[in-house]
């Protein structure tokens, strides 16, 4: 982390009851890169003393503490609002760089600014865990989910992640974005899956890209397949109504509604999903979703390189520690749109 050097990249991590993995990962990130960084951690309603451990071990990290957890994408937006650097890098807690992965990712991005969104690879036991790249929600994926098939087509099981290049969507597990684009897109839409960010960016000329040499090792156990939830079904249906044709969106609703009815006899989570069907089957795009900027703004937004060059050696940081409780206050004064971009 740089002292007199302004940060090149703001690293945003959202943690919920992941104290040990978070501490180990942040220590590895600090020791593993020469790039001037600022670290921003959102303690998203943890009950394992994450905030106290963070203040003790990392006095220079900007800490945003939530007493009650937010949806993960809402917490990520909260952390990004405090960023000062020209690049934003979202990282899951408990990732250890293999080599200087952050520099590798930024150097590739600086050489290919037209791509606008990038990710690397996260490894478990030396193999790619498949969690940095995904496909957006699809009708086939919806059928697999509804039928309980042991298939996850939206995880792109056939993709050779060692090759890299353009991918359908990148996930916030490791996601690098130029801050001007992030601000023009309005960040994550908290009501939709994370892949919506890539879909909206692609619609305006971005090329989400996998950089296979930018690698991080996972220090935490492999997560279980997430259970069906009302929030997840609502996000899927909202995505369908925003990005699919009306006929395909209706088909997705029929498939999920039938599955909820038929599988409710097995108990939760489908019983709860069926009981709450009015909440997710009636999801609409207008009214409750965050308004997004118009197309001409994004089309006109130029691809930009980092405003700060990467250093040849690391320097200690002089940034002051900070923390805050949840509030509805306006954007911090340290966040300013760069030339060629504006706040949505």
Tell me the pLDDT tens digit for each residue of 172-221: 999 999 999 999 999 999 999 999 999 999 988 899 999 999 999 998 87
Q: What would you measure as the largest C-alpha separation in the chain, in angstroms? A: 62
Least confident of 4-8, 106-110, 116-120, 125-129: 4-8
Q: Does the structure show a pLDDT above 50 at 305?
A: yes
3 state SS of 296: helix
Nearest 5 degrees, angle CA 311-CA 314-CA 318?
A: 110
* Percent of the chain topping pLDDT 90: 68
* pLDDT value for 332: 35
Q: Which domains does the chain have, with CATH numbers?
A: 9-225+291-308 (3.90.550.10), 230-281 (no CATH)
User: Which among 155, 169, 175 has a CA at the least distance from the CA of 206?
Assistant: 169
Mean pLDDT of the chain: 83
Specify which residues 41 forms β-bridges with. 13, 63
* pLDDT value for 92: 96
Q: Does the structure show a pLDDT above 80 at 7?
A: yes
Distance from C-alpha of 98 to C-alpha of 290, rounded to nearest angstrom: 37
Distance from C-alpha of 181 to C-alpha of 86, rounded to nearest angstrom: 10
Whose tokens are 């905030």? That residue is 51
* pLDDT value for 80: 96
DSSP string, 19-81: HHHHHHHHHHHHHT--S-EEEEEEEES-SSSHHHHHHHH-TTSEEEEESSPPPHHHHHHHHHT
Specify which residues 90 forms β-bridges with. 12, 175
What is the total residue count of the chain?
A: 344
Least confident of 118-127, 156-165, 278-287: 278-287
Q: How many CA atoms, within 13 angstroms, populate the side-chain half-sphere of residue 78?
A: 26
Q: Tens of pLDDT along 70-107?
A: 999 999 999 999 999 999 999 999 999 999 999 999 99
Q: Tens of pLDDT along 319-331?
A: 334 444 443 333 3
- Could you tell me if 23 and 57 are in contact, meaning their C-beta atoms sit under 8 angstroms apart? yes
* pLDDT value for 281: 86
Task: Give, for 124, the enclosing helix (H) or strand (E).
Answer: strand 117-124
Q: 78 to each of 71, 141, 225, 326, how far by Cα in Å? A: 11, 30, 26, 9
User: Which among 147, 284, 165 has a CA at the least distance from the CA of 156?
Assistant: 165
* pLDDT value for 227: 83
* pLDDT value for 290: 36
CA torsion 4→105→90→129, rounded to 10°? -140
- Could you tell me if 120 and 101 are in contact, meaning their C-beta atoms sit under 8 angstroms apart? yes
Q: What is the DSSP letter of 267?
A: -
User: What's the pLDDT band for 295 if we cut at 50, 70, 90?
Assistant: very low
pTM to 2 decimal places: 0.82
- Could you tell me if 74 and 192 are in contact, meaning their C-beta atoms sit under 8 angstroms apart? no
Specify which residues 177 forms β-bridges with. 88, 117
Whether the link from the prior residue into 269 is cis, omega within 30° of 0, is yes
Nearest 5 degrees, angle CA 301-CA 302-CA 305?
A: 130
Q: Does the structure show a pLDDT above 70 at 291?
A: no
């Amino acid at each position: 982390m740089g002292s007199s050097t302004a940060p090149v990249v703001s690293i945003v991590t959202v943690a919920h009851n992941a104290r040990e993995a978070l501490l180990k990962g942040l220590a590895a990130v600090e020791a593993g890169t020469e790039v001037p960084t600022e670290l921003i951690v959102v303690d998203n309603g943890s009950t394992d003393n994450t905030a106290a451990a963070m203040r003790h071990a990392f006095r220079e990290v900007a800490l945003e503490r939530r007493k009650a957890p937010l949806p993960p994408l809402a917490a990520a937006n909260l952390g990004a609002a405090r960023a000062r650097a020209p690049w934003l890098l979202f990282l899951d807690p408990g990732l250890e760089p293999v080599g200087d992965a952050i520099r590798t990712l930024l150097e590739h991005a600086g050489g290919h600014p037209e791509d606008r969104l990038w990710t690397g690879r996260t490894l478990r036991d030396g193999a790619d865990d498949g969690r940095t790249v995904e496909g957006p929600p699809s009708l086939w994926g919806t059928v697999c989910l509804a039928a309980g098939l042991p298939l996850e087509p939206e995880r792109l099981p056939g993709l050779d992640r060692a090759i890299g290049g353009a991918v359908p969507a990148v996930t916030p597990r490791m996601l690098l974005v130029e801050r001007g684009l992030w601000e023009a897109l309005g960040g994550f839409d908290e009501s939709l899956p994370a892949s919506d960010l890539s879909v909206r960016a692609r619609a305006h000329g971005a090329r989400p890209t996998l950089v296979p040499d930018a690698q991080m090792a996972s220090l935490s156990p492999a997560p279980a397949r997430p259970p069906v939830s009302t929030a997840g079904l609502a996000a899927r249906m909202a995505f369908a109504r925003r990005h699919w044709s009306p006929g395909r969106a209706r088909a997705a609703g029929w498939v999920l509604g039938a599955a909820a009815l038929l599988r409710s006899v097995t108990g939760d989570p489908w019983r709860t999903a069926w009981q709450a069907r009015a909440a997710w089957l009636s999801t609409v795009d207008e009214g409750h979703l965050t308004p997004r900027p118009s197309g001409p703004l994004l089309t006109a937004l130029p691809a930009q390189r980092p405003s700060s060059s990467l250093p040849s050696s690391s320097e200690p940081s002089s940034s002051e520690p900070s923390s805050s409780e949840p509030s509805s206050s306006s954007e911090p004064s340290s966040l300013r749109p760069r030339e060629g971009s504006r706040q949505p």
